[in-house]
Structure 1
Amino acid sequence: MARLVVLALALLAASSCYASQRIIGGRPAYIEQYPSLVQVENYSNGGWRQDCSANILNILYVLSAAHCFYGPKYAPHLRRIRYGTTYRLRGGTINYVEKEFNHPSFDLEMSYDGDITVVRLRRPIIYSTVATVATLIYHGARILDNIPVVHAGWGDTIEGVYSPSEHLLDVQIYTINNDLCRERYMTANETVTENMICAGVLDVGGRDACSGDSGGPLYDGNVIIGVISWGLGCGNDTFPGVSANVASYTNWIAQTAV
């Protein structure tokens, strides 16, 4: 049996930095390799900046992290996406946000559990070789330990320093046993739930997502199994990065993005 059974969501067409927004140790990649990946831009202090990422679900919806579309300074008109480009804040096509649908369980004051959102856009995405729908893992699928997985994004390349990459980067890491990850984070009074996936290079570090990568994908092959959510530091050898486990939410995503 294949390691993962997948569901392609080809549905009917119709901000915080805490180490939470979290590519360290990456290499250059191209949008043709990850055509469902888009930039999320935030309007602040008179200009647009890329602070998060998202993933194309269908022509009107993208999937991202709820904390990227949340808070007292958030409003839909202050977010837009840029799709179909390898380069940060350059090229591609701009589309604006109409409305976000944060998962009902998301409560940033309590934890990062449920840190996933479906976002409706103002106008349809135009599909091409650099803009296509994501393939999501099926609902309830079990994520195996120690499998190679990949992050991709434009986030910081140096922890603690505003250092976004102008070129798309990717990095290979490995899934980490959820119980082991939970025990590590308990020492820092942080909570890892069954709705999260931990991934990194445990006890080595040096490879991870970082600030500006939130909402982007955690891939197993071409299948999105996670949405980048939070962590302590970037590339930390003790505390791996944490993504929302898409398999906990696939049914909700399908019901919402219509």
Structure 2
Amino acid sequence: MVLYFPVAILFVAGIANVQCGRIVGGDETTIEKYPYLVQVEFHLGWGHWEQNCGANILTRTCLLSAAHCFNGGIYRPSDRRVRASTTHRHTGGSVHYVEFERNHPGYHVAAVWDADITVVKLTTPLIYSPSVQRGTIVTQGFQLPDNTPVMHAGWGHTSWGGVFSPVLRHVEMFTINHDLCRERYALLRSTITRNMICAGLLDVGGRDACQGDSGGPLYAGNIIVGVVSWGHRCANETFPGISTSVASYTDWVVANAR
């Protein structure tokens, strides 16, 4: 398995009819199209930082991302920072450091990657602009219908085992029936819970998030419905990519993004 290594949050009643409109199989885009997205950079030592995850803007000081991007035996908040307001990977924009993270208490409990979601607090506030905007998250408990068009965006690998994209990319795919996805991953002895969203082109492949896209968004329209989490390789035709379902945790996100 691969990790796609008022709080003034707005809500919607439902998004069943919303139509959409890195990443494997996608196209280049600009941060102005996805101003709710930031890069998460890891400190690798000796002053060297490298983008390895993404995150979604909730407020000027709070972000939504994947718990596995802010976790581990040697993890410290001081070893993470975010870069906002730039189309280009690891350059430009504004840099903000992490004060602390709140990983969901259910992370790794019901299944290995269940509850892979976190709220991150920054030490300095973001400044809103056309390329930095607060995102909108889905309502608690909303169920995405099968075959809903959804979109990933990020700077991750453009192929399995490949290289990072120097610019922001995006790709459209479709949600996949949960039971079918669960049956597929059972072949690998991996657990798909109801807190996960499967998306891709089933039995076709070629479109997906990939390494370096973890923590970034799964959008339905402009609504953040998922957080990129894990999958079997990238853009696999048999095993679709997995995102954490934000609708399972919306109330928790709101309570912690303060």
TM over 0.5: yes
Distance verdict in 2 for CA 1:68–1:109, change over 3 Å: farther
> What does the per-residue CA deviation read over 1:59-103, in whole Å, with 9 as the maximum and x for residues that have no partner?
110000000000012100000000000000011100000000000
Secondary structure of the residue aligned to 1:183 is helix
- Tell me the residue number matched to 2:4: 21
Matching of residues 125-204 of structure 1 within 5 Å: 125-161=126-162, 163-204=163-204
- Tell me the residue number matched to 1:101: 102
| C-alpha distance in structure 2 between counterparts of 1:70 and 1:110, whole Å | 16
Q: Is the 8 A contact 1:156 1:210 kept in 2?
A: yes
Q: Is the 8 A contact 2:202 2:237 kept in 1?
A: yes
Shift of 1:160: 1.6
Matching of residues 113-124 of structure 1 within 5 Å: 113-124=114-125
Distance verdict in 2 for CA 1:247–1:109, change over 3 Å: closer
Q: Is the 8 A contact 1:67 1:108 kept in 2?
A: no
- Tell me the residue number matched to 1:74: 75
| C-alpha distance in structure 2 between counterparts of 1:146 and 1:158, whole Å | 23
Amino acid at match of 2:242: V
In the alignment, is residue 83 of structure 1 matched against residue 66 of structure 2? Answer: no
Amino acid at match of 1:139: Q
> What does the per-residue CA deviation read over 1:126-157, in whole Å, with 9 as the maximum and x for residues that have no partner?
11110010100000101110011000000001
Amino acid at match of 1:54: A
| C-alpha distance in structure 2 between counterparts of 1:109 and 1:159, whole Å | 28
Shift of 1:110: 4.7
* Runs of 5+ consecutive residues of structure 1 not aligned to the other structure: 1-17
Q: Is the 8 A contact 2:156 2:213 kept in 1?
A: yes
- Tell me the residue number matched to 1:63: 64
Identity of aligned residues (%): 53
Shift of 1:109: 10
- Tell me the residue number matched to 1:253: 253
| C-alpha distance in structure 2 between counterparts of 1:21 and 1:150, whole Å | 15
Distance verdict in 2 for CA 1:133–1:110, change over 3 Å: same
| C-alpha distance in structure 2 between counterparts of 1:76 and 1:98, whole Å | 6
Amino acid at match of 1:225: V
Amino acid at match of 1:186: A
Secondary structure of the residue aligned to 1:179 is helix
Amino acid at match of 1:208: D
| C-alpha distance in structure 2 between counterparts of 1:136 and 1:100, whole Å | 19
Distance verdict in 2 for CA 1:108–1:93, change over 3 Å: farther
Shift of 1:43: 0.4
In the alignment, is residue 30 of structure 1 matched against residue 13 of structure 2? Answer: no
**So what's the TM-score if we normalise by structure 1?**
0.91
Secondary structure of the residue aligned to 2:133 is coil
Secondary structure of the residue aligned to 1:211 is coil
| C-alpha distance in structure 1 between counterparts of 2:222 and 2:110, whole Å | 33
Secondary structure of the residue aligned to 1:126 is coil
Q: Is the 8 A contact 1:226 1:244 kept in 2?
A: yes
Secondary structure of the residue aligned to 1:49 is strand
| C-alpha distance in structure 2 between counterparts of 1:115 and 1:141, whole Å | 18
**Runs of 4 or more consecutive aligned structure 1 residues displaced over 3 Å after TM superposition:** none
Shift of 1:45: 3.6
Q: Is the 8 A contact 2:37 2:57 kept in 1?
A: yes
| C-alpha distance in structure 2 between counterparts of 1:49 and 1:201, whole Å | 30
- Tell me the residue number matched to 2:13: none
| C-alpha distance in structure 2 between counterparts of 1:110 and 1:208, whole Å | 22
Q: How many residues get paired? A: 240
- Tell me the residue number matched to 1:206: 206
